[in-house]
Amino acid sequence: MEKNDVILELINVNKSFDGSIVVENLNLSVQKGEFVTFLGPSGCGKTTTLRMIAGLEMPDSGQILLNGMDIAQLPPHKRPLNTVFQRYALFPHLDVYDNIAFGLKLKKVSYQTTNKQGNVITKTRKYTKDEIDAKVKKALKIVDLESFECRNVTTLSGGQQQRVAIARAIVNEPEILLLDEPLGALDLKMRKEMQLELKEMHKKLGITFIYVTHDQEEALTMSDRIVVIEDGVIQQIGTPLDIYNEPANAFVADFIGESNIYVGTMIGPQKVRFLGTTWDCVDDFEINEKVDVVVRPEDIIIHSPNEGKVKAKIVNKIFKGIHYQFTAMVGNNEVLIQSTVDHPVGQDISLTIEPDLIQIMKREYTANIYEDAYINKNNEVVFAGASWACDVTQLVEGATLDEKGYFITPNGKKYDLDDIDVIATIDMKDIEISDNLEEGNITGQIIQMVWKGDHYQLIIRTEDEEDFIVDTEWTWNESDTVSISIDSSKIKLKLKADLSKYEI
Amino acid sequence: MVKRPNTRKIVAKSYLYLILFLMYLPILVLIVFSFTKSVELGVWTGFSLQLYKDLFANDSLMKAIGNTVLIAFVSAVVSTLLGTMGAVGTFYARRRYKKAVETATQLPVVNAEIVMALSLAVLFKSLNLSYTFWTLLIGHVVLTVAFVYLNVKPKLVQMDASIYEAALDLGATPWYALFKVVLPEILPGIFSGFLLSITLSLDDFVITQYLKEPSFETISTYIQKIVVKHPIPPEVRALSTILFLVVLGAVIAITVYNNKKATKVATMRRK
């Protein structure tokens, strides 16, 4: 990774639209000639990042360095980059040839000439007709559309339009080619073909490609490096192999390929407990730490009932072409297994997993902690934009409330808790959600959902961009709006301010 | 069994033709009576082209025609420019402004012309402006600009919004992208907005009457001035005929052109 091989660098890039953050503190460097893919669910900020590189959006803050020069505030027509748009964005009133020649006709090339004084000077000129003609023909050849020059673009099929769009971009010989879900509108077979062709083109042209997709398979097939983005934040950067085998967190594991994700506990050096047994693994975390454990379905081996490490029972089977996908139950936990050997549903089996195929990750969230909570005059706690009934007497052991709601400590002192700062902690399993929006204190939208063997972990975001992490056994859908309620006895409070200031 | 749908068809068709006949009957009568020189309405005194001769000999009427065409053309050009710029601007603007402008453009369309005419008259008076060609021009632009906006907007909505960005991306300056990429796409809308402006301005009476210079007459104000004291001058029949035929010709030309283009696209698609 030589520094001078870096063609593009994004440093602390931030962008928000109407107050909601779309890209947060993004840092990334791209090597010359690399095929980098931004991968993430829709609305994660990947397209916005690409548009900031293209110059179609301006970042709120941060730098975008192209060959070391900051281009963050440069308008798009001054950047030596070209984009292939999601819906092609061909010019309908121009034919194929003129669409491709559009950029060339505007381009100025510098050349050297000798002036009257005999000095060599650099001048700029436009491309000649013959030069443009040669370049357009070459581009058409690259995308396999020779003899289409005079066709009206509106009469072309989706695949052909896509090829014109690619030709229109590469004909300008950009330093970086930006592709915004270019295959999204094509059917599956066409998409697979174009994936290989694009990859081939990347090899031949030697241009740096930055590719945006929400299709993980596409990303794995084509990329040198994948940048997994969720909620405007980079989750992981790595080669397809790294991302698949060593996902950085539960989100990445869930998003890329099929996976089993469990909550486990480290119980010794390189020993982790999940699915009701202790497993050998190759990662080290602190003893007793709760961790997320990821096992890929193809890494689980099925044995006859007593040969494996843990007993299981097959409850479901799907034939997937090259393999069977089984769902087995280990106690309350579901296990997804892929195997080429058939087993009947209902069969008792046992399972083993190789230690190096158990991927252990630090848990991102262990509880909901609100550091900026405070108590209001009704002795309710306020956080996340709502007030919640709670038991304030837990702030000092043995404290009580008098009939007027003043706080009495065991030593007889009296306090008015109004406005006092506290830290509120709520366990993930203690938050109740409901689709009856009147029921809870506040409503939010489910923005992420990960299955963890016997429960879902949801992230619910309120309108004020406050997040609640919730464990639930029930199935919800992403982007559902739900209301949130919390049992008053389940809110743990800790004093943050000096209590003596509130004495009356 | 076979007969019933047939009678139904005949009834439906004859109804349609009856309506069309009733719609065009008055114009037909007018055209016929433009070819006789009788001063009295509805009296046929033999075929004559005298009214056409009189029409071109009537200087003040010819002056009024010239004024009408002039104000229609100039106001249509100004409205088309303003309306198109407004439509493009709001199309690429933030959603909040878009809604506001959209609502604001609806109002002049449904607003009574007399309200518009009076309010402009009051405005000019309070600004101490005397009525000239320019006040009249402003009046006609106010009358027609919303219609241009409403004709251009659907073309913008139909257009792939990212072609503008694609042009910038390929090295075009914002102006170049606007003229070479966006404009060709919305040109049909601009053109129909322009034609509509001309039509609206041509037969406007209320706004013209309030905002014109006293000595400045258009066809409608000229005729109005005459009929107060005299019968309708017979050469107006000839003028109306000519106007109708010009408009008819324009409508036929546009329809033929559009049909030709549609077939061309359809055959291209099939290839």
Question: In this structure, what token pair is assigned to residue B150?
Answer: 């409403």
Taking only the tens of pLDDT, chain B with its 271 residues reads 455 668 888 898 999 999 999 999 999 998 998 888 887 777 888 888 888 888 888 888 889 999 999 999 999 999 999 999 999 988 888 777 788 888 888 888 888 889 989 999 999 999 988 888 899 999 999 999 999 999 999 999 988 888 999 999 999 999 999 999 999 999 999 999 999 999 899 889 999 998 888 888 898 898 888 888 887 788 888 888 998 898 899 889 988 988 887 777 666 555 4
pLDDT greater than 60 at residue A368:
yes
| pLDDT at residue A256, rounded to an integer | 87
Does residue A126 form part of some domain?
A: no
Does residue A68 form part of some domain?
A: yes
Domain residues for A79? 3-102+131-245
Report CA-CA distances (Å) from A372 to A367, A368, A385, A425.
Answer: 15, 12, 11, 11
Does residue A141 form part of some domain?
A: yes
Place of tokens 């107006």: B236
Q: Distance (Å, rounded) from C-alpha A79 to C-alpha A93?
A: 25
- Crossing angle of the two packed helices B133-158 and B113-126, in degrees rounded to 10: 130
Mean pLDDT of A47-66: 93
Does residue A89 form part of some domain?
A: yes
* CB-CB neighbors (< 8 A) of A180 in chain B: none
Say if residue A74 is in the same domain as residue A198: yes
Average pLDDT taken over every residue of chain B: 87
Quick one: which of A378, A373, A382 has its CA closest to A406?
A378
- The more confidently predicted of residues A3 and A118 is A118
Percent of chain A whose predicted confidence (pLDDT) is above 70: 99
CATH code of A33's domain: 3.40.50.300
Where does residue B187 rank: exposed (0-12), middle (13-18), buried (19+ CB within 10 A)? middle
Alpha helices (H) along B38-182: 50-57, 59-91, 95-110, 113-126, 133-158, 162-169, 174-177
Say if residue A299 is in the same domain as residue A240: no
Mean pLDDT of A366-378: 86
Domain boundary residue, one of A191, A221, A245: A245
* CB-CB neighbors (< 8 A) of A54 in chain B: 169
b/e map B8-40, b = 16+ CB within 10 Å: eeeeeeeeeeeeeeeeeeeeeebbebbbbbbee
Summarised one tens digit per residue, pLDDT across range A137-160 is: 999 988 888 888 888 888 888 889
Shortest CA gap B192–chain A (Å): 18
Lowest mean pLDDT among A90-94, A463-467, B198-202: A463-467
Q: Which residues contact A274 (CB under 8 A, 6 or more apart)?
A: A262, A263, A264, A265, A293, A453
Mean pLDDT of A314-334: 91
| pLDDT at residue B187, rounded to an integer | 92
Question: In this structure, what token pair is assigned to residue A335?
Answer: 């296990």
- Interface residues of B toward A, Cβ cutoff 8 Å, are 160, 162-163, 165-174, 176, 181, 184-185, 265, 268-269, 271
Lowest mean pLDDT among A59-73, A445-459, B120-134, B185-199: A445-459
Does residue A121 form part of some domain?
A: no
Say if residue A154 is in the same domain as residue A285: no
Inter-chain contacts counted by CB atoms under 8 A, chains A and B: 69
Which among B172, B185, B271 has CB closest to A93?
Answer: B185
Number of domains into which chain A is organized: 3
Which among A89, A103, A152 has CB closest to B268?
Answer: A152
- Interface residues of A toward B, Cβ cutoff 8 Å, are 54-56, 75-77, 81-83, 85-93, 102-103, 106-107, 152, 154-155, 168-169, 172
| pLDDT at residue B266, rounded to an integer | 63
Say if residue A374 is in the same domain as residue A477: yes
Q: Could you tell me the domains of chain B?
A: 62-229 (1.10.3720.10)
| pLDDT at residue B167, rounded to an integer | 94
Mean pLDDT of A362-382: 86
Say if residue A347 is in the same domain as residue A399: no
Shortest CA gap B168–chain A (Å): 5
Shortest CA gap A460–chain B (Å): 27
Percent of chain A whose predicted confidence (pLDDT) is above 90: 39
Say if residue A267 is in the same domain as residue A416: no
pTM over 0.80: no
| pLDDT at residue A1, rounded to an integer | 44
Does residue A489 form part of some domain?
A: yes
| pLDDT at residue A188, rounded to an integer | 86
Say if residue A293 is in the same domain as residue A322: yes
Say if residue A69 is in the same domain as residue A186: yes
Say if residue A379 is in the same domain as residue A353: no
Say if residue A343 is in the same domain as residue A373: no
Shortest CA gap B174–chain A (Å): 8
| pLDDT at residue B265, rounded to an integer | 63
Summarised one tens digit per residue, pLDDT across range B203-258 is: 899 999 988 888 888 988 988 888 888 877 888 888 889 988 988 998 899 889 88
Quick one: which of A388, A373, A8 has its CA closest to A210?
A8
- Interchain pair B168, A106: CB under 8 A: no
Does residue A118 form part of some domain?
A: no
| pLDDT at residue B271, rounded to an integer | 47
ipTM of this predicted complex? 0.74
| pLDDT at residue A2, rounded to an integer | 46
Q: Distance (Å, rounded) from C-alpha B62 to C-alpha B218?
A: 10
Say if residue A16 is in the same domain as residue A62: yes
Alpha helices (H) along A279-370: none
Does residue A463 form part of some domain?
A: yes
- The more confidently predicted of residues B264 and A344 is A344
Q: pLDDT category, A187, cuts 50, 70, 90?
A: confident
Average pLDDT taken over every residue of chain A: 89
Shortest CA gap B270–chain A (Å): 8
Domain boundary residue, one of A190, A210, A245: A245
- Interchain pair A85, B265: CB under 8 A: no
Q: Distance (Å, rounded) from C-alpha A432 to C-alpha A278?
A: 31
Say if residue A73 is in the same domain as residue A185: yes
Question: In this structure, what token pair is assigned to residue A167?
Answer: 């030709």
Domain boundary residue, one of A362, A390, A406: A362
CATH code of A326's domain: 2.40.50.140
| pLDDT at residue B113, rounded to an integer | 87
